[in-house]
Structure 1
Amino acid sequence: MLVEDDPDQLADLSHALKVAEFSVLEASNQDEAITQLKDADLDILVSDIILDGDFDAGFKLANYVREHYAQLPIIFLSERREADDIWQGHQLGAVDYLAKPLHTPLLIQKLHNLLRITQGRKTYQQDFITALVDAQLQIQPNQAQISWRHQPVQLTLTEFEMLNEFARHPADTLISYDALTKATQGVVERNTINTHICRIRQAFRKQDPQFDHIQNVYGRGYKWRP
């Protein structure tokens, strides 16, 4: 779904995505997007932040999506370029935040990368499997779901792929920044990895307040400590 309140920008970007062979559902404001979400089976949500004069409408839409469609990837497009805005977007679980004026080929490449992640999950078995890194962590790859100590942990699709990179290695294995970027098909870039790791920790701590297994290795990456 593409959410954009400027009719010219909506038409131009929608056309470019269709030329790139994406199916595009269009919405011009937050309410219209929410209404269509209820009946749609989406792979990705791409949204402006300022919609119909509401400075934070895109963020409000992301909050709704996180509550009702937790694994739907979100990419923000916006003229708001301040560091605090970008940080807030990632805190809401966005996989990317692209500044306007938009370089459309970059968005198209990121969409292709996200779809490769989605399609790749379909090759996995359906049952939960015990993670190599920790017997208390179980993974259901084709549904991008995880369980920690028999309790579900809600992650976005890209956060799941990052966690799965830890899960398939023994504990204390260094998981480099490059490995985490590759695990998400380049969607998560080096400068936002730590924000995503913080969100993963927060998700675990909702079920286990003492969770502290993902540790920084300064300048190199992270390790899962048993």
Structure 2
Amino acid sequence: LRIFILFASPPEKEFAWSEEGLEGCYRFILRIWNLVEENLDLFQEKGVIAAGQFDEASFQRLSKKLHQTIKKVTDDIEQRFHLNTAISALMELTNSLKKDRDLLRQSREGRELLAEALTDLILLLGPFAPHLAEELWQKTGRTTLVAQTSWPSYNPELAKEEMITIVVQINGKLRDKFEVEAETEEELLKEKALSLPRIQELLGGREPKKIVCVKNKLVSLVV
């Protein structure tokens, strides 16, 4: 219930109850529970060397996703207070873990990364589902508390997002463009588009009647 309330909408917007949304959040925490349960052996290994082949693509993919998620959740909590998008980032990390788990378990490096990612996932889950996080923390063999453990840190280089070009239209005509990180939120895209000198000149002080954002593609202004 706590996860659903925080995920359903940002604090400044009206909250709408949804049974489907509640069920979706339950499935999310169940996926995390199962992921940890199915990989508890990773936390009990002492110098175990897996016999399989190291898959560099899955290793690099999950490593980058992990550091991007830590940065995203940290910024959403400390700077933007967008708890719903922080939870969304945790959902994406959980999906990435499920996708690459089998390949990563085949090598020592992959198993170490999986253990690290699951550890950080539990810590990042702490502010949103504290009781669940503490129980999972104990399952991994820890004797401390999540609440007493340092927040995960990230590597800025690994946390960098891909840069993409966003075009800006006024009444359907291309007027300008700018670069941002992939997956930038719509509100930030709108702010950036409206702050462009060329767009301000063309608007001439007028307020757009409508602003349409297409994620990772364009901002369209209607005046």
TM-score band by shorter chain is: under 0.3
TM-score by length of 2: 0.24
> Normalized per residue, which structure has more helix?
2
Q: Which one has the largest radius of gyration? A: 2
Q: Which has the bigger relative contact order, CA under 8 A and spacing at least 6?
A: 2
> Normalized per residue, which structure has more strand?
1
